[in-house]
Amino acid sequence: MAVEVRLPTVLRTHAGGASSVQLTGATLGDVLAKLVAEYPGLAGQVVQDDGSLHKFVNIYVNDDDVRYLQGLDTPVPDGAEISILPAVAGG
C-alpha cells in the first residue's frame, strides 16, 4: 500500500529536511520500519528500541490516533496519510 508519512518539524533534520515521505507497507509497523531504513537517523526516535511508541509521540493513520486503534499493527489503506506529531498540551 502506498502511503504518505508527514513528519513534524522536530524530526525533519533526521530526514534530510523532508516534510513528508512516500512509502509502502501493509501495517503502520511496516511503514515505520521502511522509514527508518531510509533515514537511519530516525532509529529509536518514533519507535523505541524496545518496540514501543515514544511516549511523547502521537501517530495518526488518516487522522485517527493509532494508540486507540491497533498500535503498530494498525492496517494502512492505500493512499493513507500517516501523521507523526509530538504530544502538545492545550488549555
Partner 1 sequence: MARYESVLGLIGETPLVEISALSPNPDARLFIKLEGQNPGGSVKDRVALSMIEIAESDGILKPGQPDQILMEPSSGNTGIGLAMVCKVKGYHLKVVMPTNVSIERRQLLELWGAEIIESPGTEGSNGAVRMAQKLAGEHPEWKFLYQYGNPANPQAHFEGTGPEILRDCPDITHFVAGLGTSGTLLGVGRYLRETRGNAVQIWAVEPPSGETVDGLRNLDDGYIPPIFEELGGAELLDRKTVVRPRESIEWTRRLTDVGIFAGISTGAALAGAIKCASSLEPGVEASIVVVSADGGWKYLSTGAWTDDLDEVTERAKSIIYF
Least distance in angstroms from the C-beta of 54 to partner 1: 5
- What lies within 8 Å, CB to CB, of 77 at 6+ separation is 1, 62
* Residue from 60, 74, 76, 82 binding partner 1 (CB under 8 A): 60
What CA–CA distance (Å, rounded) separates 19 from 68?
A: 25
Stretch that binds partner 1, among 1-9, 23-31, 32-40, 70-78 (CB under 8 A): 1-9
Which three-class secondary structure state does DSSP give residue 8? coil
For 55, which DSSP code? T
Q: Which residues bind partner 1 (CB under 8 A)?
A: 6, 8-11, 45-46, 54-58, 60, 63-65, 67-68, 83, 85-91
